[in-house]
Protein backbone atom coordinates (compact mmCIF):
# COMPACT_ATOMS: atom_id res chain seq x y z
CA UNK A 1 0.00 0.00 0.00
CA UNK A 2 2.81 2.32 0.95
CA UNK A 3 4.59 1.50 -2.32
CA UNK A 4 1.44 2.39 -4.28
CA UNK A 5 1.16 5.70 -2.45
CA UNK A 6 4.81 6.46 -3.20
CA UNK A 7 4.26 5.66 -6.85
CA UNK A 8 1.21 7.96 -6.97
CA UNK A 9 3.21 10.69 -5.23
CA UNK A 10 6.05 10.29 -7.74
CA UNK A 11 3.60 10.46 -10.64
CA UNK A 12 2.07 13.61 -9.19
CA UNK A 13 5.52 15.18 -8.76
CA UNK A 14 6.47 14.34 -12.34
CA UNK A 15 3.26 15.91 -13.63
CA UNK A 16 3.88 19.02 -11.52
CA UNK A 17 7.44 19.29 -12.83
CA UNK A 18 6.33 18.91 -16.45
CA UNK A 19 3.52 21.44 -16.00
CA UNK A 20 5.93 23.87 -14.31
CA UNK A 21 8.57 23.53 -17.03
CA UNK A 22 6.07 24.10 -19.84
CA UNK A 23 4.53 27.05 -17.97
CA UNK A 24 8.00 28.51 -17.39
CA UNK A 25 8.74 28.33 -21.11
CA UNK A 26 5.39 29.96 -21.96
CA UNK A 27 6.01 32.64 -19.30
CA UNK A 28 9.47 33.43 -20.68
CA UNK A 29 8.18 33.69 -24.25
CA UNK A 30 5.16 35.70 -23.13
CA UNK A 31 7.27 38.12 -21.12
CA UNK A 32 9.75 38.57 -23.98
CA UNK A 33 6.96 39.30 -26.46
CA UNK A 34 4.36 41.24 -24.43
CA UNK A 35 6.75 42.90 -21.90
CA UNK A 36 4.35 43.36 -18.96
CA UNK A 37 5.41 45.21 -15.82
CA UNK A 38 6.06 42.88 -12.89
CA UNK A 39 4.15 45.10 -10.51
CA UNK A 40 1.17 44.38 -8.17
CA UNK A 41 -0.39 47.70 -9.25
CA UNK A 42 -0.53 46.57 -12.87
CA UNK A 43 -3.76 44.96 -14.09
CA UNK A 44 -1.76 43.45 -16.95
CA UNK A 45 0.50 41.65 -14.45
CA UNK A 46 -2.48 40.04 -12.69
CA UNK A 47 -4.01 39.07 -16.04
CA UNK A 48 -0.69 37.50 -17.03
CA UNK A 49 -0.58 35.59 -13.73
CA UNK A 50 -4.09 34.25 -14.33
CA UNK A 51 -3.09 33.14 -17.82
CA UNK A 52 -0.04 31.26 -16.48
CA UNK A 53 -2.09 29.55 -13.77
CA UNK A 54 -4.52 28.37 -16.43
CA UNK A 55 -1.64 27.17 -18.60
CA UNK A 56 -0.14 25.23 -15.67
CA UNK A 57 -3.52 23.80 -14.75
CA UNK A 58 -4.32 22.86 -18.34
CA UNK A 59 -1.05 20.99 -18.79
CA UNK A 60 -1.39 19.26 -15.42
CA UNK A 61 -4.95 18.18 -16.21
CA UNK A 62 -4.00 16.83 -19.63
CA UNK A 63 -1.22 14.77 -18.05
CA UNK A 64 -3.61 13.58 -15.36
CA UNK A 65 -6.48 12.70 -17.68
CA UNK A 66 -5.02 9.43 -19.03
CA UNK A 67 -4.20 8.03 -15.63
CA UNK A 68 -7.57 8.89 -14.12
CA UNK A 69 -9.46 7.62 -17.17
CA UNK A 70 -7.60 4.29 -17.07
CA UNK A 71 -9.07 3.63 -13.65
CA UNK A 72 -12.52 3.96 -15.14
CA UNK A 73 -13.62 6.41 -12.53
CA UNK A 74 -15.40 8.64 -15.05
CA UNK A 75 -15.81 12.39 -14.93
CA UNK A 76 -16.51 12.43 -11.20
CA UNK A 77 -13.34 10.59 -10.44
CA UNK A 78 -11.36 12.85 -12.73
CA UNK A 79 -12.47 15.97 -10.87
CA UNK A 80 -11.90 14.37 -7.50
CA UNK A 81 -8.41 13.09 -8.25
CA UNK A 82 -6.89 15.50 -10.74
CA UNK A 83 -6.57 18.58 -8.52
CA UNK A 84 -9.11 20.72 -10.40
CA UNK A 85 -10.29 22.20 -7.12
CA UNK A 86 -6.85 23.55 -6.23
CA UNK A 87 -6.27 24.88 -9.71
CA UNK A 88 -9.62 26.68 -9.55
CA UNK A 89 -8.70 28.19 -6.17
CA UNK A 90 -5.36 29.38 -7.53
CA UNK A 91 -7.05 30.95 -10.59
CA UNK A 92 -9.64 32.61 -8.35
CA UNK A 93 -6.95 34.66 -6.58
CA UNK A 94 -5.94 36.94 -9.53
CA UNK A 95 -9.58 37.09 -10.65
CA UNK A 96 -10.58 38.31 -7.18
CA UNK A 97 -7.74 40.84 -7.12
CA UNK A 98 -8.79 42.24 -10.52
CA UNK A 99 -12.47 42.52 -9.54
CA UNK A 100 -12.00 43.82 -5.99
CA UNK A 101 -9.11 46.04 -7.02
CA UNK A 102 -11.21 47.66 -9.74
CA UNK A 103 -14.12 48.20 -7.33
CA UNK A 104 -12.09 49.80 -4.54
CA UNK A 105 -10.32 51.98 -7.13
CA UNK A 106 -13.48 53.15 -8.90
CA UNK A 107 -14.91 56.66 -9.00
CA UNK A 108 -18.13 55.27 -7.46
CA UNK A 109 -16.42 54.82 -4.09
CA UNK A 110 -13.76 57.53 -4.41
CA UNK A 111 -15.35 60.53 -6.12
CA UNK A 112 -13.93 63.04 -3.62
CA UNK A 113 -10.42 61.57 -3.86
CA UNK A 114 -10.49 61.74 -7.67
CA UNK A 115 -11.64 65.37 -7.58
CA UNK A 116 -8.77 66.32 -5.24
CA UNK A 117 -5.95 64.78 -7.28
CA UNK A 118 -5.08 68.19 -8.78
CA UNK A 119 -5.38 71.82 -7.74
CA UNK A 120 -6.52 74.33 -10.36
CA UNK A 121 -5.92 77.92 -9.22
CA UNK A 122 -7.58 80.76 -11.15
CA UNK A 123 -5.19 83.08 -13.00
CA UNK A 124 -5.39 86.33 -14.97
CA UNK A 125 -5.15 85.83 -18.73
CA UNK A 126 -3.62 89.24 -19.53
CA UNK A 127 -0.89 88.80 -16.91
CA UNK A 128 0.21 85.27 -17.86
CA UNK A 129 -0.15 85.81 -21.60
CA UNK A 130 0.90 89.37 -22.40
CA UNK A 131 0.55 90.61 -25.94
CA UNK A 132 3.61 90.10 -28.11
CA UNK A 133 4.60 91.69 -31.40
CA UNK A 134 5.28 88.33 -33.03
CA UNK A 135 3.57 84.99 -32.61
CA UNK A 136 6.57 82.74 -31.95
CA UNK A 137 5.40 80.72 -28.94
CA UNK A 138 2.47 78.92 -30.57
CA UNK A 139 2.84 75.54 -32.27
CA UNK A 140 0.26 76.07 -34.99
CA UNK A 141 1.01 72.92 -36.92
CA UNK A 142 -0.56 69.62 -35.92
CA UNK A 143 1.24 66.27 -36.08
CA UNK A 144 -0.43 65.31 -39.37
CA UNK A 145 1.00 68.33 -41.18
CA UNK A 146 4.35 67.90 -39.42
CA UNK A 147 4.48 64.34 -40.75
CA UNK A 148 3.84 65.49 -44.32
CA UNK A 149 6.52 68.19 -44.18
CA UNK A 150 8.96 65.87 -42.40
CA UNK A 151 8.49 63.12 -44.99
CA UNK A 152 8.99 65.63 -47.78
CA UNK A 153 12.26 66.77 -46.21
CA UNK A 154 13.44 63.20 -45.72
CA UNK A 155 12.46 62.33 -49.28
CA UNK A 156 15.00 64.84 -50.58
CA UNK A 157 17.83 62.89 -48.92
CA UNK A 158 18.40 59.95 -51.25
CA UNK A 159 21.12 58.36 -49.11
CA UNK A 160 18.88 58.33 -46.04
CA UNK A 161 15.36 57.73 -47.35
CA UNK A 162 16.30 54.40 -48.93
CA UNK A 163 17.13 52.90 -45.53
CA UNK A 164 15.09 54.87 -43.00
CA UNK A 165 11.73 56.54 -42.50
CA UNK A 166 10.51 59.31 -40.23
CA UNK A 167 9.28 58.20 -36.80
CA UNK A 168 5.70 57.30 -36.03
CA UNK A 169 4.91 60.42 -33.98
CA UNK A 170 6.21 63.95 -33.52
CA UNK A 171 6.98 65.27 -30.04
CA UNK A 172 6.25 68.88 -29.13
CA UNK A 173 9.27 70.47 -27.42
CA UNK A 174 10.67 73.86 -26.52
CA UNK A 175 14.03 74.18 -28.27
CA UNK A 176 15.99 77.38 -27.77
CA UNK A 177 12.90 79.18 -26.46
CA UNK A 178 10.69 78.43 -29.48
CA UNK A 179 8.38 75.51 -30.27
CA UNK A 180 9.58 72.61 -32.39
CA UNK A 181 8.29 69.17 -33.34
CA UNK A 182 10.84 66.37 -33.51
CA UNK A 183 10.93 62.71 -34.45
CA UNK A 184 13.84 60.32 -34.84
CA UNK A 185 14.37 58.20 -37.92
CA UNK A 186 13.26 54.56 -37.79
CA UNK A 187 14.27 51.46 -39.75
CA UNK A 188 11.96 50.74 -42.70
CA UNK A 189 11.81 46.98 -42.04
CA UNK A 190 13.67 44.01 -40.57
CA UNK A 191 16.19 43.78 -43.41
CA UNK A 192 17.01 47.49 -43.22
CA UNK A 193 17.64 47.00 -39.51
CA UNK A 194 19.95 44.08 -40.26
CA UNK A 195 21.87 46.11 -42.86
CA UNK A 196 22.22 49.23 -40.69
CA UNK A 197 22.35 47.80 -37.19
CA UNK A 198 26.05 48.45 -36.70
CA UNK A 199 25.85 52.06 -37.92
CA UNK A 200 22.56 52.80 -36.10
CA UNK A 201 20.02 55.60 -36.57
CA UNK A 202 21.89 58.61 -38.01
CA UNK A 203 19.60 61.56 -37.25
CA UNK A 204 16.19 63.12 -36.70
CA UNK A 205 13.68 65.46 -38.32
CA UNK A 206 13.02 68.84 -36.70
CA UNK A 207 9.90 70.72 -37.83
CA UNK A 208 9.26 74.42 -37.20
CA UNK A 209 5.48 74.47 -36.47
CA UNK A 210 5.37 78.26 -36.62
CA UNK A 211 6.91 78.75 -40.07
CA UNK A 212 5.91 75.36 -41.56
CA UNK A 213 9.44 74.27 -42.41
CA UNK A 214 11.55 71.23 -41.59
CA UNK A 215 15.18 70.11 -41.56
CA UNK A 216 17.10 66.88 -41.17
CA UNK A 217 19.67 66.95 -38.35
CA UNK A 218 22.46 64.41 -38.07
CA UNK A 219 23.53 63.06 -34.67
CA UNK A 220 27.12 63.21 -33.48
CA UNK A 221 26.66 59.61 -32.31
CA UNK A 222 23.97 57.34 -33.83
CA UNK A 223 21.07 55.84 -31.86
CA UNK A 224 21.05 52.09 -31.23
CA UNK A 225 17.76 51.55 -29.38
CA UNK A 226 14.59 52.54 -31.26
CA UNK A 227 11.04 51.22 -31.58
CA UNK A 228 11.62 49.76 -35.05
CA UNK A 229 14.67 47.72 -34.01
CA UNK A 230 14.44 44.03 -33.19
CA UNK A 231 15.36 41.65 -30.37
CA UNK A 232 17.71 43.26 -27.84
CA UNK A 233 17.87 46.54 -29.76
CA UNK A 234 14.09 47.07 -29.49
CA UNK A 235 13.47 50.16 -27.32
CA UNK A 236 10.54 48.73 -25.37
CA UNK A 237 12.41 45.48 -24.66
CA UNK A 238 15.55 47.29 -23.53
CA UNK A 239 13.51 49.47 -21.18
CA UNK A 240 11.53 46.54 -19.76
CA UNK A 241 14.63 44.47 -19.03
CA UNK A 242 16.27 47.50 -17.43
CA UNK A 243 13.19 48.48 -15.40
CA UNK A 244 11.08 45.31 -14.98
CA UNK A 245 8.76 46.72 -12.27
CA UNK A 246 7.95 50.11 -13.81
CA UNK A 247 4.55 50.75 -15.41
CA UNK A 248 5.36 52.73 -18.55
CA UNK A 249 3.06 55.35 -19.99
CA UNK A 250 4.20 57.60 -22.84
CA UNK A 251 7.66 57.21 -24.37
CA UNK A 252 8.64 60.47 -26.06
CA UNK A 253 11.64 61.32 -28.19
CA UNK A 254 13.35 64.61 -27.27
CA UNK A 255 16.65 66.37 -27.73
CA UNK A 256 18.46 68.35 -25.06
CA UNK A 257 19.82 71.84 -25.58
CA UNK A 258 23.03 70.41 -27.10
CA UNK A 259 21.07 68.33 -29.61
CA UNK A 260 21.69 64.97 -27.92
CA UNK A 261 18.86 62.41 -28.31
CA UNK A 262 16.91 60.99 -25.37
CA UNK A 263 13.70 59.09 -24.74
CA UNK A 264 11.56 60.48 -21.94
CA UNK A 265 9.72 57.56 -20.32
CA UNK A 266 6.85 58.40 -17.96
CA UNK A 267 6.23 55.85 -15.17
CA UNK A 268 2.79 55.44 -13.62
CA UNK A 269 1.49 54.56 -10.16
CA UNK A 270 -2.06 54.54 -8.77
CA UNK A 271 -3.17 57.35 -6.49
CA UNK A 272 -6.39 55.64 -5.43
CA UNK A 273 -6.86 52.02 -4.42
CA UNK A 274 -5.01 49.33 -6.35
CA UNK A 275 -5.51 50.49 -9.93
CA UNK A 276 -7.27 53.87 -9.70
CA UNK A 277 -6.19 57.31 -10.90
CA UNK A 278 -2.97 56.17 -12.57
CA UNK A 279 -0.67 59.16 -12.63
CA UNK A 280 2.98 59.87 -13.44
CA UNK A 281 5.18 59.61 -10.35
CA UNK A 282 8.64 59.12 -11.92
CA UNK A 283 10.38 59.67 -15.21
CA UNK A 284 13.22 57.78 -16.90
CA UNK A 285 15.61 59.73 -19.12
CA UNK A 286 16.94 57.04 -21.42
CA UNK A 287 19.98 57.45 -23.66
CA UNK A 288 19.31 55.50 -26.92
CA UNK A 289 22.95 55.79 -27.95
CA UNK A 290 24.51 53.73 -25.15
CA UNK A 291 21.41 52.21 -23.55
CA UNK A 292 21.82 53.86 -20.14
CA UNK A 293 18.99 55.47 -18.21
CA UNK A 294 18.44 57.58 -15.12
CA UNK A 295 15.33 57.62 -12.94
CA UNK A 296 14.02 60.94 -11.59
CA UNK A 297 11.25 62.02 -9.27
CA UNK A 298 8.88 64.48 -10.97
CA UNK A 299 10.16 67.49 -9.03
CA UNK A 300 13.76 66.56 -9.87
CA UNK A 301 13.26 66.30 -13.65
CA UNK A 302 15.78 68.46 -15.58
CA UNK A 303 14.28 71.67 -16.97
CA UNK A 304 15.17 70.84 -20.60
CA UNK A 305 12.72 67.92 -20.51
CA UNK A 306 9.31 68.94 -21.89
CA UNK A 307 7.12 65.83 -22.09
CA UNK A 308 6.44 64.04 -18.81
CA UNK A 309 2.64 64.27 -18.68
CA UNK A 310 0.59 63.70 -21.83
CA UNK A 311 -2.17 66.04 -22.97
CA UNK A 312 -4.63 63.16 -22.72
CA UNK A 313 -3.73 62.53 -19.07
CA UNK A 314 -3.84 66.26 -18.30
CA UNK A 315 -7.37 66.47 -19.70
CA UNK A 316 -8.45 63.29 -17.90
CA UNK A 317 -7.32 64.59 -14.51
CA UNK A 318 -9.16 67.87 -15.01
CA UNK A 319 -12.31 65.96 -15.99
CA UNK A 320 -12.10 64.08 -12.67
CA UNK A 321 -11.70 67.42 -10.90
CA UNK A 322 -14.54 69.08 -12.79
CA UNK A 323 -17.04 66.22 -12.78
CA UNK A 324 -16.66 64.56 -9.38
CA UNK A 325 -16.25 67.35 -6.84
CA UNK A 326 -19.95 67.19 -5.95
CA UNK A 327 -20.07 63.41 -5.78
CA UNK A 328 -20.42 60.47 -8.13
CA UNK A 329 -24.21 60.57 -8.50
CA UNK A 330 -24.14 64.27 -9.32
CA UNK A 331 -21.74 63.51 -12.18
CA UNK A 332 -24.25 60.96 -13.53
CA UNK A 333 -27.64 62.56 -12.88
CA UNK A 334 -27.66 66.13 -11.55
CA UNK A 335 -24.54 67.53 -13.26
CA UNK A 336 -24.62 70.53 -10.92
CA UNK A 337 -21.49 72.64 -11.48
CA UNK A 338 -19.94 69.87 -13.61
CA UNK A 339 -17.22 70.94 -16.06
CA UNK A 340 -15.20 69.04 -18.65
CA UNK A 341 -12.47 69.80 -21.14
CA UNK A 342 -13.09 69.88 -24.88
CA UNK A 343 -12.11 66.89 -26.99
CA UNK A 344 -8.60 67.98 -28.00
CA UNK A 345 -5.73 70.19 -26.91
CA UNK A 346 -3.13 72.56 -28.32
CA UNK A 347 0.33 73.69 -27.22
CA UNK A 348 1.78 76.92 -25.87
CA UNK A 349 5.42 77.64 -24.96
CA UNK A 350 5.65 79.80 -21.84
CA UNK A 351 9.07 80.51 -20.44
CA UNK A 352 11.10 77.31 -20.64
CA UNK A 353 8.14 74.93 -20.68
CA UNK A 354 5.54 73.45 -23.00
CA UNK A 355 1.95 73.80 -21.75
CA UNK A 356 -1.20 72.06 -22.98
CA UNK A 357 -4.16 74.30 -23.74
CA UNK A 358 -7.79 73.23 -23.85
CA UNK A 359 -11.16 74.82 -23.29
CA UNK A 360 -13.49 74.10 -20.38
CA UNK A 361 -17.22 73.85 -20.93
CA UNK A 362 -20.23 73.13 -18.75
CA UNK A 363 -21.63 69.62 -19.18
CA UNK A 364 -25.04 71.14 -19.87
CA UNK A 365 -23.69 73.30 -22.74
CA UNK A 366 -21.61 72.40 -25.77
CA UNK A 367 -21.76 75.69 -27.62
CA UNK A 368 -19.46 77.86 -25.50
CA UNK A 369 -16.58 77.70 -23.05
CA UNK A 370 -16.69 79.03 -19.51
CA UNK A 371 -12.92 79.34 -19.60
CA UNK A 372 -9.83 77.34 -20.43
CA UNK A 373 -6.97 75.61 -18.68
CA UNK A 374 -3.29 75.24 -19.35
CA UNK A 375 -1.27 72.38 -17.91
CA UNK A 376 2.50 72.14 -17.69
CA UNK A 377 3.70 69.11 -19.64
CA UNK A 378 6.76 68.68 -17.37
CA UNK A 379 5.48 69.51 -13.86
CA UNK A 380 1.74 68.80 -14.16
CA UNK A 381 0.83 72.27 -12.84
CA UNK A 382 -2.60 73.68 -13.80
CA UNK A 383 -4.05 77.15 -14.28
CA UNK A 384 -7.64 78.16 -15.06
CA UNK A 385 -8.58 81.34 -16.96
CA UNK A 386 -12.26 82.42 -16.75
CA UNK A 387 -12.47 83.66 -20.33
CA UNK A 388 -16.02 83.10 -21.58
CA UNK A 389 -16.60 82.62 -25.29
CA UNK A 390 -16.91 80.25 -28.21
CA UNK A 391 -15.59 76.73 -27.79
CA UNK A 392 -12.78 75.63 -30.06
CA UNK A 393 -14.79 73.67 -32.60
CA UNK A 394 -17.15 76.61 -33.19
CA UNK A 395 -14.11 78.79 -33.82
CA UNK A 396 -12.68 76.19 -36.20
CA UNK A 397 -15.94 76.10 -38.15
CA UNK A 398 -15.97 79.92 -38.29
CA UNK A 399 -12.44 79.94 -39.75
CA UNK A 400 -13.31 77.24 -42.28
CA UNK A 401 -16.43 79.17 -43.28
CA UNK A 402 -14.32 82.23 -44.07
CA UNK A 403 -12.69 80.32 -46.95
CA UNK A 404 -15.35 77.67 -47.52
CA UNK A 405 -14.92 77.79 -51.29
CA UNK A 406 -11.39 76.39 -50.85
CA UNK A 407 -12.46 73.48 -48.66
CA UNK A 408 -9.67 74.03 -46.13
CA UNK A 409 -9.73 72.26 -42.74
CA UNK A 410 -8.77 74.04 -39.50
CA UNK A 411 -6.33 72.61 -36.97
CA UNK A 412 -7.18 72.63 -33.27
CA UNK A 413 -6.46 76.20 -32.12
CA UNK A 414 -4.33 77.70 -29.43
CA UNK A 415 -4.79 81.02 -27.64
CA UNK A 416 -3.02 84.39 -27.83
CA UNK A 417 -3.57 87.91 -26.53
CA UNK A 418 -4.19 90.50 -29.25
CA UNK A 419 -4.73 94.04 -27.92
CA UNK A 420 -6.14 92.58 -24.70
CA UNK A 421 -8.55 90.30 -26.58
CA UNK A 422 -8.44 86.54 -26.04
CA UNK A 423 -8.01 85.18 -29.56
CA UNK A 424 -7.92 81.71 -31.08
CA UNK A 425 -5.12 81.15 -33.57
CA UNK A 426 -4.99 78.18 -35.95
CA UNK A 427 -3.89 77.09 -39.39
CA UNK A 428 -6.04 76.06 -42.36
CA UNK A 429 -4.92 73.03 -44.36
CA UNK A 430 -5.82 71.73 -47.79
CA UNK A 431 -6.95 68.16 -48.53
CA UNK A 432 -3.32 67.04 -48.65
CA UNK A 433 -2.63 68.30 -45.12
CA UNK A 434 -0.45 71.21 -46.29
CA UNK A 435 -0.78 74.47 -44.34
CA UNK A 436 -2.23 77.20 -46.58
CA UNK A 437 -3.46 80.00 -44.31
CA UNK A 438 -3.33 81.26 -40.76
CA UNK A 439 -6.59 82.29 -39.07
CA UNK A 440 -7.47 84.34 -35.98
CA UNK A 441 -10.92 84.16 -34.35
CA UNK A 442 -12.18 86.29 -31.48
CA UNK A 443 -13.08 84.14 -28.48
CA UNK A 444 -16.02 86.24 -27.28
CA UNK A 445 -17.37 86.97 -30.76
CA UNK A 446 -16.44 84.22 -33.20
CA UNK A 447 -18.01 86.10 -36.12
CA UNK A 448 -14.82 88.21 -36.11
CA UNK A 449 -12.48 86.10 -38.26
CA UNK A 450 -9.33 87.09 -40.13
CA UNK A 451 -7.07 85.01 -42.36
CA UNK A 452 -3.69 85.59 -43.93
CA UNK A 453 -0.86 83.81 -45.68
CA UNK A 454 1.13 83.92 -42.42
CA UNK A 455 0.74 84.99 -38.80
CA UNK A 456 1.73 88.58 -39.48
CA UNK A 457 -0.79 89.14 -42.28
CA UNK A 458 -3.56 87.40 -40.34
CA UNK A 459 -2.87 89.43 -37.22
CA UNK A 460 -2.86 92.74 -39.10
CA UNK A 461 -6.20 91.86 -40.73
CA UNK A 462 -7.60 90.79 -37.36
CA UNK A 463 -6.58 94.03 -35.60
CA UNK A 464 -8.26 95.99 -38.40
CA UNK A 465 -11.48 94.04 -37.79
CA UNK A 466 -11.27 94.75 -34.05
CA UNK A 467 -11.11 98.47 -34.82
CA UNK A 468 -13.96 98.31 -37.35
CA UNK A 469 -16.18 96.51 -34.82
CA UNK A 470 -15.42 99.03 -32.09
CA UNK A 471 -13.73 96.50 -29.83
CA UNK A 472 -10.49 98.50 -29.71
CA UNK A 473 -9.62 102.04 -30.79
CA UNK A 474 -6.98 103.23 -33.25
CA UNK A 475 -4.81 104.26 -30.29
CA UNK A 476 -4.82 100.68 -29.01
CA UNK A 477 -3.71 99.30 -32.37
CA UNK A 478 -0.24 97.77 -32.11
CA UNK A 479 2.51 98.88 -34.44
CA UNK A 480 2.67 96.74 -37.60
CA UNK A 481 5.27 94.03 -37.40
CA UNK A 482 8.38 94.65 -39.43
CA UNK A 483 9.89 91.56 -41.01
CA UNK A 484 13.44 90.66 -40.11
CA UNK A 485 15.51 91.46 -43.20
CA UNK A 486 18.93 90.56 -44.54
CA UNK A 487 21.10 92.02 -47.26
CA UNK A 488 22.93 90.33 -50.13
CA UNK A 489 24.91 91.32 -53.23
CA UNK A 490 23.73 89.27 -56.21
CA UNK A 491 24.19 89.05 -59.96
CA UNK A 492 20.93 88.62 -61.89
CA UNK A 493 20.88 85.41 -63.94
CA UNK A 494 17.22 85.42 -64.97
CA UNK A 495 14.03 87.49 -64.65
CA UNK A 496 10.47 86.25 -65.01
CA UNK A 497 7.11 87.89 -64.46
CA UNK A 498 4.09 85.85 -63.32
CA UNK A 499 0.53 86.64 -62.28
CA UNK A 500 -0.16 85.38 -58.73
CA UNK A 501 -3.66 85.88 -57.26
CA UNK A 502 -4.35 88.63 -59.81
CA UNK A 503 -1.11 90.57 -59.14
CA UNK A 504 2.03 90.74 -61.30
CA UNK A 505 5.06 89.41 -59.46
CA UNK A 506 8.67 89.61 -60.63
CA UNK A 507 10.94 86.66 -59.84
CA UNK A 508 14.66 87.43 -60.00
CA UNK A 509 17.06 84.46 -60.01
CA UNK A 510 20.69 84.93 -58.97
CA UNK A 511 23.61 82.83 -60.11
CA UNK A 512 23.22 80.41 -57.16
CA UNK A 513 19.60 79.64 -58.08
CA UNK A 514 17.96 81.62 -55.26
CA UNK A 515 14.75 83.47 -56.25
CA UNK A 516 13.84 86.95 -55.02
CA UNK A 517 10.19 87.90 -55.54
CA UNK A 518 8.56 91.33 -55.53
CA UNK A 519 5.09 92.57 -56.47
CA UNK A 520 5.20 95.19 -59.22
CA UNK A 521 2.34 97.02 -57.49
CA UNK A 522 4.47 97.32 -54.32
CA UNK A 523 7.61 98.51 -56.18
CA UNK A 524 7.36 99.41 -59.87
CA UNK A 525 11.10 100.06 -60.05
CA UNK A 526 11.80 96.30 -60.20
CA UNK A 527 11.00 96.39 -63.93
CA UNK A 528 14.23 98.39 -64.39
CA UNK A 529 16.36 95.42 -63.31
CA UNK A 530 17.98 93.54 -66.19
CA UNK A 531 19.76 90.22 -66.67
CA UNK A 532 23.44 90.58 -65.83
CA UNK A 533 22.94 93.48 -63.37
CA UNK A 534 24.78 93.37 -60.07
CA UNK A 535 22.44 94.62 -57.36
CA UNK A 536 22.19 94.80 -53.58
CA UNK A 537 18.91 93.40 -52.28
CA UNK A 538 17.29 93.65 -48.88
CA UNK A 539 15.07 90.62 -48.33
CA UNK A 540 13.12 88.57 -45.80
CA UNK A 541 13.09 84.80 -45.58
CA UNK A 542 9.96 82.85 -46.56
CA UNK A 543 8.75 79.35 -45.71
CA UNK A 544 10.62 78.05 -48.79
CA UNK A 545 14.38 78.14 -48.37
CA UNK A 546 15.25 79.08 -51.97
CA UNK A 547 12.60 81.83 -52.33
CA UNK A 548 13.11 85.23 -50.65
CA UNK A 549 10.75 88.19 -50.33
CA UNK A 550 12.55 91.24 -51.72
CA UNK A 551 11.97 94.38 -49.63
CA UNK A 552 14.15 96.86 -51.55
CA UNK A 553 17.02 96.95 -54.03
CA UNK A 554 19.68 99.23 -55.43
CA UNK A 555 22.26 99.03 -58.19
CA UNK A 556 25.80 98.35 -57.04
CA UNK A 557 28.35 101.13 -57.68
CA UNK A 558 30.18 99.23 -60.42
CA UNK A 559 26.97 99.14 -62.50
CA UNK A 560 26.63 102.90 -62.67
pLDDT, tens only, 464-500: 999 988 888 766 665 555 556 788 889 999 998 876 5
Contacts (Cβ under 8 Å, ≥6 apart) of 194: none
Name the strand (E) or helix (H) holding 507.
strand 503-510
- Do 293 and 243 touch, CB atoms closer than 8 A? yes
For residue 267, what pLDDT band results from cuts at 50, 70 and 90? very high
Mean pLDDT of 343-354: 86
Q: Is 30's pLDDT higher than 80?
A: yes
pLDDT confidence of residue 500: 59
Q: Is 410's pLDDT higher than 50?
A: yes
pLDDT confidence of residue 213: 80
Bridge partners, residue 373, by sequence = 358, 384
Q: Is 558's pLDDT higher than 60?
A: no
pLDDT, tens only, 500-511: 555 678 889 998
Q: Is 134's pLDDT higher than 80?
A: no
pLDDT confidence of residue 483: 57
- Do 167 and 184 touch, CB atoms closer than 8 A? yes
* CA–CA separation, 543 and 539 (whole Å): 13
Q: Is 133's pLDDT higher than 70?
A: no
Percent share of the chain, pLDDT over 90:
49
Cα angle, residue 285 at apex, residues 202 and 350 outer, rounded to 5°: 95
Mean pLDDT of 437-453: 91
* CA–CA separation, 404 and 410 (whole Å): 11
* CA–CA separation, 98 and 43 (whole Å): 7
Residue that wins the pLDDT comparison between 200 and 542 = 200
pLDDT, tens only, 349-373: 887 889 999 999 988 766 688 999 9
- Do 421 and 471 touch, CB atoms closer than 8 A? yes
* CA–CA separation, 182 and 185 (whole Å): 10
Give the global pTM. Answer: 0.80
Whether the CA torsion 385, 389, 391, 395 is positive or negative: it is: negative
pLDDT, tens only, 186-231: 999 999 999 999 999 999 999 888 777 888 999 999 999 999 999 9
* CA–CA separation, 256 and 182 (whole Å): 12
Bridge partners, residue 426, by sequence = 439
Q: Is 126's pLDDT higher than 90?
A: no
* CA–CA separation, 180 and 468 (whole Å): 35
Taken in order of first residue, the domains within the chain and their CATH numbers are 2-104 (no CATH), 135-308 (no CATH), 312-387 (no CATH), 390-476 (no CATH), 486-559 (2.40.50.140)
* CA–CA separation, 418 and 471 (whole Å): 11
* CA–CA separation, 391 and 368 (whole Å): 5
Assign 3-state DSSP to the chain and report helix, strand, coil percentages, each to 5: 35, 35, 30
Mean pLDDT of 127-156: 76
* CA–CA separation, 497 and 508 (whole Å): 9
Largest Cα–Cα separation, the chain: 123
pLDDT confidence of residue 307: 95
Q: Is 129's pLDDT higher than 80?
A: yes
Q: Is 4's pLDDT higher than 50?
A: no
Segment 491-500 long-range contacts (CB within 8 Å, at least 24 positions apart) = 491/532, 491/533, 491/534, 492/529, 492/530, 492/531, 492/532, 492/533, 492/534, 492/535, 493/531, 494/531, 495/529, 495/530, 495/531
Helical ranges in 217-363 per DSSP H: 235-242, 311-324, 328-329
Q: Say how far residue 399 (Cα) sits from the centre of its chain.
A: 24
Bridge partners, residue 389, by sequence = 369
pLDDT confidence of residue 559: 44
Instruction: For the chain, give the mean pLDDT.
Output: 86
Mean pLDDT of 68-97: 71
- CA distances for 127 relative to 9, 420, 433, angstroms: 79, 10, 35
pLDDT confidence of residue 7: 57
Closest CA to 131 of 485, 482, 476, 484: 476
For residue 146, what pLDDT band results from cuts at 50, 70 and 90? confident
* CA–CA separation, 243 and 38 (whole Å): 9
Mean pLDDT of 61-85: 61
DSSP state of 43: H
Percent share of the chain, pLDDT over 70:
89
- Do 463 and 478 touch, CB atoms closer than 8 A? yes
Amino acid sequence: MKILRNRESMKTSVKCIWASLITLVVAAIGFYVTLPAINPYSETAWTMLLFLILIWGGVYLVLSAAGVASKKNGVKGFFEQSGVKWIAIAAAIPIAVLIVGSLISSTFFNAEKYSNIIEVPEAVFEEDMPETDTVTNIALMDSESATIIGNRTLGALSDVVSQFEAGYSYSQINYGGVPAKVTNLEYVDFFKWMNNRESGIPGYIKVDPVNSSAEYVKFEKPMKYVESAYFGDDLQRKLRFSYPTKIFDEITFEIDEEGNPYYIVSCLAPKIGLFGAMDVNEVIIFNPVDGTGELYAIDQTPSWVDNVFTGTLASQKYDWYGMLKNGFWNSVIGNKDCKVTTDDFGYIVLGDDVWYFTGVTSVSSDESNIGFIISNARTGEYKFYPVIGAEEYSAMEAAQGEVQEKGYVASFPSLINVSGEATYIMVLKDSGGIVKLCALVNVENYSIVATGANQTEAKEAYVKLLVENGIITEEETPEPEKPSTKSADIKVADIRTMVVDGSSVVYITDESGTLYKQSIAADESVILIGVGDSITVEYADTDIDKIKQMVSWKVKTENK
